A and B are shown apart, each in its own frame.
Chain A
């Protein structure tokens, strides 16, 4: 029993009573008091919380008992040591307190050993001696039944010590225990944040996420250090491509102003609490918390703006995992918030990428254009333009690509920036392709040339050289094209376009009429690249060369080689067009040799090979042609033609059907009796009556066929009605369009001439009847005095149809236009050319002759003019009811008058009146009046 315990007995009570009666000794004056008295004094002060006053007394007791060997006194000494230590801790003098704790632990007995160890640990915490704390923790954990307070405190201290020494795994358990059990919000918060940070360091994302989700349901989510921890963790995850995990953390990060606002409110509350407390300890604690918050605020203040980066990263993550719109709204927000910053620029680009990913190309374009207008010198201007151009190119919006040309030239370019130069080269390349696709080879050539001249080091340069060659070729500039193809071959042997460049060079040589070289080139191509996709075309062209050769003794059968090539062309074709050309070329050459059965055989061969993808109508046309020649007209040819019309007639693209209709009419005219013709018309009428609804194209074709069979007047009547009634030309085909074009010409209907010719040319550019459209266009332009357009239309027509027998009008119009443009010499030349085409003998030649006279008249060369007019009435009186002869007479007489040869003029006029071809011509009356006036009658 120690001294204190003895005091509690009866004697002790008496003793205390004496003490009380005698009053208490003054604090500082312990020298005269007994140990018991001093102890009592100390105890009373301890009970009242007057630690400062108790201290001297305890020190006094200790000084008297520290060396004692008496058990009771030793216990007293230990108690004093313990209490002194506690007081020093309370007063904040930790180092003094620790001295006494150590002293306590070094002596016996130690009933409070665990608490003392706890206090020591607390002391180590204050001086940040983490290792010592950890050691003490280890010692304490060996005790069973630790006091809960001690256990709590040690877990708290140890957890922090482990954390501070970066032993993150070990800190988790103690901190979690404290967090679970404490009701002190501040301590809970400290633990939560430390656990979060430890999990970040351990990269234990699963646990971190679960932990943070829990923590975030409280006001802890506003904790600045927690937010910084989350950002740190998210950044690490993002850098390791753990996008989803990064996203989870980023989503929890709050903006700076929210954190600052909450912190300010928290400080306010704490300040209010300080005012309301008397306890120094509590005061210090509150101030400590305020200081911590202020520190964190400083860190936050100094932190670079992070909100935008976090927003951008979250946006990127969403976009990467295909949550496109979630990403989009973030990018859009950033762009609005910070349009003039790098991150704003990047957000704009990302928005565009998202729009493209979800195929909202309109919005992508709107964003890009907005950016280009607002920031032509923006970091991503050229990149975005490139994306836009590419999208339109892929979608075959070639006109739109061309419209974007202005940006290609207007965006500022830093020539030292390799990426910019590369993108610029790409833009020129894409623009060039758009021009190629819209058949503007001169402009595509210009773009390719820019690329080759200014970006010769670009990846597109080699291919650009090839395609510039193509551009030249399309302009029929074979010489320049050939140079490019040859240069391409010299510089790019391993390029995938190399074989094609050989083929194209052959085409250029053909265009330059270097036939032997061309043939050799095609042969080279065929031998070296027998499986190339365009080898069929090489065979076709070589076949054409062979077909054009004259048969000689040395080489009697070039056509055999031609046919062999055509057959190979059909065999090696990879698309229908590649097969149909040689097939029909073969038919044409067989026709020249009157090999009708061979025509049938090659057509069947072609049809077997290509079936429904073949131009069946055209093939049947040729088969029919051959069958007619083989006298299989009514049994084979006509039924085959009618069958083809019914089978393919509803497809306006099947132009072979119109050809068949023309041929059917031709056959009817040449071979069928009236009855047979009538039977055919009836047959077609019956078929038309049984056509289902919706097959309007076929219906119209049959109408045209019947009208043509019934005669020109009926056909003209049909065409007139169609012209008036048909607003929608989509059911028309070349057959009906050509009829309507002719009627429009005859009636001088300018609007219809334009409408019909435009439609015809746009939709059926390969039609054999297209010349009707060109004629209508040319005449319309002539009527409107648009002579340049006349020449263009004529050039296009002649380019396609040459000097076929139906093309005299084109040559005449050409000459007329030149005449109207006062280029009389050239006009005369063109008139003269018309005279040299045997197929145009007749009206065309008459008009041409007359035109030549007019040219000389315009040049005031009356003698020459007279001679042409004279030839007109001498050579062409039988044509056009003598109209040209009559005009010739009049014009000749006029020339003679100008040459002051009145008598000859009168003779000429009189000759006209006596000429049976012209005596009744409408101009005869005029001549009679003229003769009266000049006294020649």
Chain B
């Protein structure tokens, strides 16, 4: 997960309690070049009824196509979110955000500021391996082309979630569309390399998988978003190779990667996973020696 991205989101959050539902919803709506403060009174199909503050004419209904953007004042407790993040309470954090977004979910298909929070939820659910929810959020973000970076990330997480959920055919179709099944050049984006490596691992083409993942390590060593997951992926692929080829040398490779993860990324989620992998490596080594 992008720590920089997440912290940017946290920085924008306010220190208040969580809002309740049912009342008209405060919002800033932009139609054309004009942005107005007011309340969304209701939504009926493709019409949104909005009452602008300070206008005596009352509420006006607008077709959703005409709305450029809606900004909701989403209220979450920044400090507690930060703490949950630091304590790796991802499920609790997701639940908190879901609750905060709940009043606005009716409008999630529209261009709103919900996208950034949905992006966070998408990553959180992936982290806790709730792939269905990951895909739920990803599929929405994929359609929103206001933020190309977020859109691209959503496609990546969609692919990762499909893999995680074992929906291989769909994953393969998506990967094919995105070119994540081919050999990628050295300067391909880190996320493309990562997901292609995962795909190749799934296909048990371990040599190509490890070479692809290695390109992240080699050429994107400054990208902390993908380096750590890539390191972990390398460890897993080396373990697969050791088993497939009955070659304990690859267990040495995996051990080395695990060691580096433990030293470099001490308190990360990946370090915990790596510690568990170490136990598996030891067990595999015994088997191979037998």
Set A217, A221, A252, A314: member contacting B218, Cβ < 8 A: A314
Q: How far is the CA of A314 from the CA of B210 in the complex (A)?
A: 17
In the complex, whether B191 has a CB less than 8 A from a CB of chain A is no
Report yes or no: A328 in contact with B222, Cβ–Cβ below 8 A: no
Q: CB-nearest residue of chain A relative to B245? A: A359
Complex: chain B residue closest to A314, CB-CB? B218
**Contact among B186, B247, B257 for A323, CB-based, below 8 A:** B257
In the bound assembly, the distance between CA atoms of A333 and B210 in angstroms comes to 16
Across the interface, do B211 and A359 meet the contact criterion of CB distance under 8 Å?
no
Q: Is B269 an interface residue (CB 8 A)?
A: no
Using CB atoms, name the residue of chain A closest to B224. Answer: A217
Q: Check if A254 is an interface residue, CB within 8 A of chain B.
A: yes
Are A328 and B252 touching (Cβ within 8 A)?
no
CB distance from B226 to the nearest CB of A (A): 14
Residues of A within 8 A of B250 (CB): 358
Is the C-beta of B221 less than 8 angstroms from some C-beta in chain A?
Answer: yes
* Cβ-based interface call for A324 (8 A): yes
B214 touches A328 (CB 8 A): yes
Q: How far is the CB of A324 from chain B (nearest CB, A)?
A: 6
* Beta-carbon contact of B214 and A326 below 8 Å: yes
User: Known contacts A217-B224, A252-B221, A252-B222; is A322 also within 8 Å of B207 by CB?
Assistant: no
The answer to whether B218 and A330 have CB atoms under 8 Å apart is yes
CB distance from B260 to the nearest CB of A (A): 7
Interface assignment of B86: CB less than 8 Å from any CB of chain A: no
Alpha-carbon separation in the docked complex, A325 to B250 (Å): 11
Q: Which positions 222-246 of chain B face chain A at CB distance < 8 Å?
A: 222, 224, 234, 245
Max chain B Cβ within 10 angstroms of own Cβ: one of A217, A325, A333: A325
Does any Cβ of A come within 8 Å of B201's Cβ? no
Write the chain B residue with the least CB distance to A320.
B256
A329 touching B221, Cβ below 8 Å? no
Residue from B218, B247, B252, B253 within 8 A of A329 (CB atoms): B218
A326 and B218 form a contact (CB under 8 A): yes
CB pair B222–A333 under 8 Å, yes or no, is no
Instruction: Tell me whether A321 is interfacial, beta carbon within 8 Å.
Output: yes
Q: How far is the CB of B7 from chain A (nearest CB, A)?
A: 11
B257 pairs with A359, CB closer than 8 A = no
* A244 at the binding interface (Cβ < 8 Å): yes
Q: Is the CB of A323 within 8 A of B234?
A: yes
Which residue of chain A has the shortest Cβ distance to B215 in the bound complex? A329
Q: What residues of A have a CB within 8 angstroms of the CB of B213 in the complex?
A: 325
- Proximity bits, A310-337, B CB within 8 Å = 1, else 0: 0000100000011111101110010000
Given contacts A251-B221, A359-B247, contact A329 B186 (CB under 8 A): yes
A212 to B215, alpha carbons, bound, how many Å? 23
A324 with B222: CB separation less than 8 A? no
- Say if the beta carbon of B42 comes within 8 Å of chain A: no
- Determine whether the beta carbon of A322 is less than 8 Å from that of B253: yes
Number of interface residues of A (CB under 8 A): 24
- List the A side residues contacting B247 at CB < 8 Å: 359
Cβ of B217 under 8 Å from chain A: yes
Contact B211 A360 (CB under 8 A): no
Say whether, besides A244-B260, A323-B234, A328 and B253 are in contact (CB < 8 Å): no
With an 8 Å Cβ cutoff, the count of chain B residues facing the other chain is: 24
In the complex, what residues of B have CB within 8 A of residue A165's CB?
none
- How many angstroms between the C-alpha atoms of A600 and B247 in the bound complex? 49
Rounded to whole Å, the gap between the CB of A642 and the closest CB of chain B is 42
Q: A244-B260, A248-B264, A360-B207 are in contact. Are A325 and B222 (CB under 8 A)?
A: no
| Chain B residues in 8 Å Cβ range of A357 | 249
CA gap between A329 and B186 in the complex, in Å:
8
Judging by beta carbons under 8 Å apart, are B224 and A324 in contact?
no
Question: Which residue among B213, B217, B247 has the maximum number of chain A CB atoms within 10 Å of its CB?
Answer: B217
Whether A326 pairs with B217 at a CB distance below 8 angstroms is yes
Q: What separation, in Å, do the CA atoms of A624 and B30 have in the docked complex?
A: 107
A328 to B97, CA, bound (A): 44
The tally of CB-CB contacts under 8 A between chains A and B is: 52
A252 CA to B219 CA, complexed, in Å: 11
Bound Cα distance A325, B219 (Å): 13
Interface centre among A330, A357, A360 (most CB of B within 10 A): A330
Q: Cβ of A314: which chain B residues have Cβ within 8 Å of it?
A: 218
Complex Cα gap A329–B214 (Å)? 7
**Most-contacted residue by chain A among B186, B214, B224, B260 (CB, 10 A):** B214
Residue-wise, chain A 339-358 has the 8 Å CB interface mask toward B (1 for contact) of 00000000000000000011
CB distance from B53 to the nearest CB of A (A): 38
Residue of A nearest to B3 (CB): A217
- B245 / chain A contacts, CB cutoff of 8 Å: 359
Shortest Cβ distance from B252 into A: residue: A322
Q: Which residues on the A side are within 8 Å of B252 (C-beta)?
A: 322
A325 near B264 with CB under 8 A, answer no
Which chain A residues border B264 with CB–CB below 8 Å? 213, 248
A216 at the interface (CB under 8 A from B): yes
Task: Give which listed residue, B211, B219, B234, contacts A328 with CB less than 8 A.
Answer: B211
Contact B218 A324 (CB under 8 A): no
Q: Report how far A666 CA is from B264 CA in the complex, Å.
A: 81
A254: chain B residues at CB < 8 Å are 222
A221 to B207, CA, bound (A): 33
How far, in Å, is B171 (CB) from chain A's closest CB?
23
Bound-state CA distance A324–B264 (Å) is 20
Q: How far is the CA of A322 from the CA of B218 in the complex (A)?
A: 15
Shortest B97–chain A CB gap in Å is 25
Bound state CA distance, A357 and B257, in angstroms? Answer: 17
Of the candidates B186, B211, B221, B249, the one whose C-beta lies within 8 Å of that of A325 is: B211
User: Does A216 contact B214, Cβ atoms closer than 8 Å?
Assistant: no
How far in angstroms is the closest Cβ of chain A from B152? Answer: 22
Asked if B249 and A221 sit within 8 Å, CB to CB, the answer is no
A333 to B219, CA, bound (A): 10
Q: Which residue of B lies closest to A324 (CB)?
A: B253
B residues near A326, Cβ cutoff 8 Å: 214, 217-218, 234
Q: Which residues of the partner chain A approach B222 to less than 8 Å between Cβ atoms?
A: 216, 221, 251-252, 254
| Interchain nearest-CB distance for A357 vs B (Å) | 7
Assembly CA distance A347 to B181 (angstroms)? 27
Chain A nearest CB from B141 CB (Å) reads: 26
Return the chain A residue nearest B187 by Cβ: A333
Contacts of B214 in A (CB 8 A): 323, 325-326, 328-329
* Docked complex: A668-708 residues within 8 A CB-CB of B: none
Complex Cα distance A217/B3, Å?
A: 11
Smallest beta-carbon distance A334→chain B, Å? 11
Q: A248-B264, A314-B218, A330-B218 are contacts. A322–B211 as well, Cβ < 8 Å? A: no
A254's closest neighbor in chain B, by CB?
A: B222
A275–B218 Cα distance when bound, in Å, is: 42
B260 and A325 within 8 A (CB) = no
What CA separation (Å) do A321 and B263 show in the bound complex?
15
Q: Please give me the residue from chain A that is nearest to B217 by CB atom.
A: A326
What B residues does A248 contact at CB under 8 A?
264
A324 to B214, CA, bound (A): 9
CA of A359 to CA of B253, assembled, Å:
14
A248 → chain B, closest Cβ, in Å? 7
A321 to B260, CA, bound (A): 11
Question: Which residues of A sit under 8 angstroms from B210, Cβ to Cβ?
Answer: 325
In the complex, chain B residues whose CB is within 8 Å of the CB of A216: 222
Chain A 488-518 interface 0/1 with B at a Cβ cutoff of 8 Å (1 = within): 0000000000000000000000000000000
B 193-214 to A, binary, CB cutoff 8 A, 1 in contact else 0:
0000000000000010011011
Give 30 CB contacts A-B under 8 Å.
A221-B222, A248-B264, A251-B221, A252-B221, A252-B222, A254-B222, A314-B218, A322-B249, A322-B253, A322-B256, A323-B214, A323-B217, A323-B256, A324-B253, A325-B210, A325-B211, A325-B213, A325-B214, A326-B214, A326-B217, A328-B211, A328-B214, A329-B186, A329-B211, A329-B218, A333-B186, A333-B218, A333-B219, A358-B250, A360-B207
Top-5 shortest CB links A-B: A251-B221, A325-B214, A326-B214, A325-B210, A322-B253
New A-B contacts (9) at CB < 8 Å, excluding given A251-B222, A325-B234, A358-B250: A216-B222, A248-B264, A252-B222, A323-B214, A324-B253, A325-B213, A329-B218, A330-B218, A359-B247
Which A residues lie at the B interface, using CB under 8 A? 213, 216-217, 221, 244, 248, 251-252, 254, 314, 321-326, 328-330, 333, 357-360
